[in-house]
Amino acid sequence: MFQYDPLDNDHDHTVGFMPWHSRHQQKQQHNPFHTDKSLESDWIHQQLHFQPLSDQPFDFLDTNASIGSVMTDGNSTDTSMSQQHQHQQPQGHLHQEHEYQGMNEEEGIWAMDTTTHAPYNTLSWDTRNSHFPSYEQTQLADRNIGTPFITEVPRSLFEPLIRRLQDPSNTAVIHEAELVKSLIQAITGLPSIYFYWDQQQNAFKQRYTHYRLLGVSASAIQPVLDQLLLFGTRIKGLEFASQQCQLQPEIYGLTGVAFGCCLQDLLMHIQQTTVTVFSTGNHESMTVLKLYHSIQSLAAIVDKLHGLCQIQQQQQRFTIPKGASLLNLLQREISGFDLASNGGNSALYRDICLIVLSYTSVPYSNMLSRWLHFNDTGSDDQSYGDPYNEFFIGKKSTTNRHDLLQGYKIRSDIELPYFIDKGLALYILRSGISVRLLNLSKPDHPLFELNDSISLKFSMSSTDNEAYMLRLQRVCEYIRSYNTTGSIAQYRTTTVTMDNDDHDTNQGAMQHDIPTLPPLADDAKQSGFSIRLMQLLRDETSHSIPTFDTITLQSYIVPIQTWCPLLNESFMISFLNQFKLQSHLSLLYRYFLFGNGTFVNGLKATLFAEIGLNHMGDCWPPKVFNLNLALQSLLLENSQHEYDDLITFFVRKTTADSPWSHPHAVEALNFLQLHYDATYPLNMVITPAILDKYNRIFTFLIQLLRVATVIKRCFEPLRNLQWYKTSTRDAICRYRFQMDQFTSALQSYIHDTAIEATWSSFMQHVQAMQSQRTSSNSNSNSSNDYVSVIMEPHSFRDYHEHVLDRILFQCFLKQSQTRIFKVLRPVLQDIVFFSVILDDYAAKDMESEDKLHMKCARIFDQFKNHSRVFVSVLQLLETKGSGRLTNVLNSTRPSIFNDLYARHEAKNGMDVFVKDLLTRLALNGYYSIRSGTEAPFSYFNENSSFNENGDSDTNFTR
């Protein structure tokens, strides 16, 4: 190759061999005495000293001369070559120096430069591996010379030019190795001799305005320095956020503390990796650009974490949510990179966030495990491991501390975690209440002897999740076996036997060994997060992590859906067996729903024979002491079953507006109600609201019983009276028969369709719960579906209320059916008036008999009109689809029991309740509307023909 001399301060000269050769030709033209071409050629060849190219294209960088010391003030820089290169200079160069000694001062610029000249190889791919070389390339290759590309020359070639263009007053030229060392300290968060931490701006700053390297300008290197310093600044910002999260748990909660610990371990790993990698390499070969490119992956991760924490560097503030909000933040961050391919920065960042989430979730998972009793740790802890109110379940402030069913709530001020929706949150709430109720009623249940082997945890390994599910399934099978048999001896014996076998085996193996304490493993010195992070980075491209949805499903959803039904089942089986729930429900059916015929007959005799509606005079309703003895005797006569003593009669307080203030009104007996003493824990599923619905049905049944009784009692007087006209007797008997037929049809519909069919289905499901033989009956699918839902106290209470709502709907007693009942009420009132007229009649003469006939005919005409209007209303309901109970239920608030009813009972013919009633009332079309004989339906709406007291506007004399 050739040698060259750098130019120091001549602005009219340029650097390189070709300008120098041009300048030499100009001198030859001005000097006419040098005309010998051979001399010129010989001189030129003396200046061109070629050297063979090395096999390694860039080995000249390793033989570069070292740069001298740097002045920290930046005013002067001494650069010299080593003595070794001075001795290696060729003879041609010495001849060149002698040739220039005779030049004038202006032309002696080469002698003014004290820099020792070194040979360099100018390399290019143009002269190597070329299948079709040009002539020039061939000539250069024969002489072993490459083409001189500017990108391949050493940086010192540009030094003179940079000196002229750079302002030396604010620029310091430093050794690249020292700069790299200071930058490594900065990116690990430490100050150095060239960079410091600015407390005001909370950022790394340069101690001098500009830094540059030999042959590199400050403007060229400054963007690289800024990026490296920004990396170190963000490291310091993340360190601050990590420390604050750990120091202020009252603000960031236990999840924030766990996140801070993970962040701290991650930063320590980044710092340790940076120091380890750059300390083990060749310091002389490390450059600023190599350092910059080496940390690009880490810088991208740190940048994303910095944005995740929303760090405001100058204000030294950051935003990290608390509890489930922090988990949701990490989940959203991971979801953005969930499908990133392995090996890239995005996949690495996703995996790091997954590990951070797995360890940040530990406190929240422990809270959820304690609430659902996945382990026996802290079973009596009222805060279930939530000292900073991060869990979405909290205690109600104003409630009876003994009423656990109403003692907890889902907090509206707390965000739900990403793996729990509103429906699952409600199910988790109720399941946790079930296990606490079970602890009160049966504290020796095996559920309360569990260890920590099945606690919930976020796991990214499918193998670990499979092993966890096997352990969970074994525990569930054991508890179900106990729920069925009530015995745990066999399981305990098996367990003890296995432990004894293992113990004997271990003893045999240790007979010839001396027990020693094993040394502390290296992993024990690191946190679980650090160990998991190292494992991940070790096989970054070969590991397989499931998608985030799969991890969530395996870690939380499947275990919760497996465990919660077992908790509810355990409590409900204990509840049914220990507190005889089925017996209490049968008690309510016998009395409130007239399921006991003996009680109904006794009630009929007591109210209409012993007391009587016509023997109270002007005192109505009767005094309590007049009713007390008769009703007590009635209850004593029917106390043949267990828990019958829990039923008592209750007399409502009478006011001026009470509808039962008139003895001849349909509501005359509405003052009488039943009271059931529902003690704890039965009051969880037999609530006051449920008892109120029972009493509404009971009141209607009494009204219907009274109407049916009084119309039947009219038969004996009609038969025994002495009639003057046989036609009058026959007409009145026909009136009574038609009224009796109407009440009998209505009464049979109420008892058979509305009550009995609904209640029998309900009790069938209760028996399936208690016996757990859901597949032993013909309606196994129905029982299975219902039992899987109602095997929980809240759901059972809701189902109990749903059954009563179905009865109320079929009896037209719901608030939305008020207008329908207003059409039925006049029919019943006409029957009561008809019986009153007959009770008051005394045979005197033919004139009184004609008046009786006239009154009865008038009442019967009203009865026909009212009956036909009622039938027309039923027909209208059936035509519009409101006669189907499924449609009626769907018009109310949504409920899973509405769907179950439509799926099972409705398909078995229990849905068309209005059609059933129409068939019973008007099978032959007797009540069909005929023009000109009935009042239209609009006549019997709110402007009905009854006054405010419920009496008919028709005047009659007693």
pLDDT, greater one: 134 or 419: 419
46 pLDDT exceeds 60?
A: no
Which domains, and CATH codes, for the chain? 17-165 (no CATH), 190-278+289-320 (no CATH), 357-497+524-576 (no CATH), 579-940 (1.20.120.1900)
What pLDDT sits at residue 742?
Answer: 94
> Which tokens is 718 given?
């009609």
| pLDDT score, position 94 | 35
Cα(803)–Cα(797) distance, integer angstroms: 10
Tell me the CA end-to-end span of the chain in Å, nearest whole number.
142
Specify the pLDDT at position 69. 36
**In 486-616, where does DSSP find H-type helix?**
489-510, 528-538, 548-552, 558-578, 581-592, 597-605
Token digits of residue 201? 């701006």
- Say how far apart CA 849 and CA 406 lie, in whole Å: 65
Closest C-alpha among 904, 706, 907, 915 to residue 810: 915
Query: What's the whole-number mean pLDDT along residues 434-446?
Result: 89
- Three-state SS at 537: helix
pLDDT of residue 504: 45
The span from the CA of 924 to the CA of 916, in Å, is: 14
Place of tokens 């267990």: 642
According to the model, what pLDDT value does residue 140 have? Answer: 59
pLDDT band at 526 (very low <50, low <70, confident <90, very high): low
Q: What is the pLDDT of residues 799-836, one digit of tens each?
A: 999 999 999 999 999 999 999 999 999 999 999 999 98
Instruction: Using alpha carbons, select from 213, 137, 218 the residue that is nearest to residue 177.
Output: 213
Angle at 933 between CA 836 and CA 708, to 5 degrees: 30
Q: Is 414 exposed, middle or buried (0-12, 13-18, 19+ CB in 10 A)?
A: middle
pLDDT at 613 over 60: no
pLDDT at 696: 95
Per DSSP, the three-state class of 197 is: strand
pLDDT at 833 (0 to 100): 92
Mean local confidence (pLDDT), 182-195: 90
* Contacts of residue 330, Cβ cutoff 8 Å, sequence gap at least 6: 308, 353, 356, 357, 360
Least confident of 336-340, 531-535, 609-613: 609-613
- Cα torsion 323, 327, 333, 334 to 10°: value is 170
Please tell me the chain's helix, strand, coil percentages from 3-state DSSP, rounded to the nearest 5: 60, 5, 35
pLDDT the model gives residue 49: 40
Residue 21 has pLDDT above 50, yes or no: no
Q: How many CA atoms lie within 13 A of 138 on its CB side?
A: 5
Contact 471, 370 (CB under 8 A): no
Nearest to 212 by CA among 227, 198, 223: 223
Sequence-separated (6 or more) residues with CB below 8 Å from residue 576: 582, 766, 769, 770
Rounded Cα distance between 571 and 438, Å, is: 5
355 vs 375, higher pLDDT: 355
DSSP 220: H
The pLDDT of residue 733: 92
Closest CA to 750 of 600, 548, 879, 612: 600
Give the pLDDT of residue 503.
42
- The contacts of residue 176 (CB under 8 Å, 6+ apart) are 213, 214, 287, 288
Greater confidence (224 vs 158) lies with 224
605 Cα distance to chain centroid = 60
What is the model's pLDDT at position 20? 40
Q: Is the CB of residue 144 less than 8 Å from the CB of residue 252? A: no
**CA pair distance 168, 215, nearest whole angstrom:** 14
pLDDT band for 780, please (50, 70, 90 cuts): low
Q: What is the pLDDT, as a whole number, of residue 616?
A: 47
Give the model's pLDDT for residue 607: 83
Is pLDDT above 90 for 351? no
pLDDT of residue 859: 94
Task: pLDDT band for 135, please (50, 70, 90 cuts).
Answer: low
Q: What is the pLDDT of residues 485-515, one digit of tens each?
A: 877 644 443 333 334 444 444 444 333 333 4
Average confidence score pLDDT of the chain: 76
The one-letter amino acid code at 518 reads P
Q: How sure is the predictor about 608, in pLDDT bands with cuts at 50, 70 and 90?
A: confident
11-20, 113-122, 612-621: which has the highest mean pLDDT? 612-621
Write down the pLDDT at residue 223: 93
* Rounded Cα gap, residues 869 and 824, in angstroms: 9
pLDDT at 91: 40
Tokens of 38: 């051979």
CA dihedral 458, 463, 464, 470 (to 10 degrees): 120
Residue appearing with tokens 């016998």: 590
For CA atoms 435, 436, 438, 444, the dihedral sign is positive
pLDDT tens-digit series, residues 276-299: 877 766 656 788 998 999 888 889
Distance of CA 643 to the CA centre of its chain: 44
Encoded amino acid at 934, one letter: E
Query: Residue 235: what pLDDT?
Result: 93
Average pLDDT of 778-796?
A: 79
Type of residue at 437? L
Q: At 197, list the tokens.
A: 């931490």
Q: Kindly state the percentage of the chain with pLDDT values over 90.
A: 35
Q: How confident is the model at residue 26 (pLDDT cuts 50, 70, 90)?
A: low
With 70 as the cut, is the pLDDT of residue 238 above it?
A: yes
Q: What is the tens place of the pLDDT at every residue in 542-556?
A: 567 888 999 999 999
Q: At what angle do helices 218-247 and 249-280 cross, to 10 degrees?
A: 140
Residue among 145, 148, 147 at smallest CA distance from 157: 148
- Span 581-605, pLDDT tens digits: 999 999 999 999 999 999 999 888 8
pTM higher than 0.85: no
Report the candidate in 706, 447, 679 with the shortest Cα–Cα distance to residue 563.
447
Model pLDDT, residue 189: 86
Q: What is the pLDDT of residue 224?
A: 93
Give the least confident one: 335-349, 372-386, 580-594: 372-386
Kindly report which listed range (362-366, 517-521, 630-634, 815-819) carries the lowest average pLDDT score. Answer: 517-521
Per the CB < 8 A criterion, the answer to whether 195 and 215 are in contact is no
